[in-house]
Amino acid sequence: MSKQFRKLKKATKNKTSKTEESSLIYASYPEKIKAFITDLFMIYTPILYITVYAILGSKEEFQGSNLAPFVAVMLYGLIYAILLSKFGQTPGKKAYDIKVVSQESGDNLTFLRAFVRFVSFLFGVTILIGVFFPFYNKQKRSLHDYIAKSVEIKISS
């Protein structure tokens, strides 16, 4: 009798977790790309401008420096991670009603996980593997989403 109850309880639990998971609407790949481009213009471009002209003084200094591009990218990564950990969105993701949440809990990512997600994004895009991941799974998760255990979902505005 107790074995039947356990099986029934397990079946009911699996059914409810599948229902909760299927109620999420995952962000589409084109929307993610549009949000990324928006973030580049709204966050990274001002960082580059300030770095090149206000700090270094000229584009030749920037091009001649090995450290300046790295510092600009890391500053972008820090801002990106702060925004994801605090709000779950960057300006680009907000424009397209996308939110990045933890796969397990559905809450915002921690700062460390958001920063790891950014660094793994750089790695995945560099070797091009991360670009093709969303085409082969139902949740449309990229390599950096698997590493950071995150998912990008659509939210209603």
**pLDDT confidence of residue 2:** 55
By the 8 A CB rule, do 127 and 142 touch? Answer: no
Biggest CA-to-CA distance, the chain: 79
In this predicted structure, the answer to whether residue 19 has a pLDDT above a threshold of 50 is no
CA distance 141 to 109: 15
Looking up tokens 């915002």 gives 108
**pLDDT confidence of residue 70:** 94
CA distance 135 to 11: 30
Task: Out of 17-21, 43-47, 49-53, 82-86, pick the least confident.
Answer: 17-21
| Chain segment 106-122, per-residue pLDDT in tens | 899 999 999 999 999 99
| Chain segment 121-144, per-residue pLDDT in tens | 999 999 888 888 888 888 888 999
CA distance 68 to 57: 12
By the 8 A CB rule, do 154 and 25 touch? Answer: yes
In this predicted structure, the answer to whether residue 35 has a pLDDT above a threshold of 80 is yes
pTM of the model: 0.80
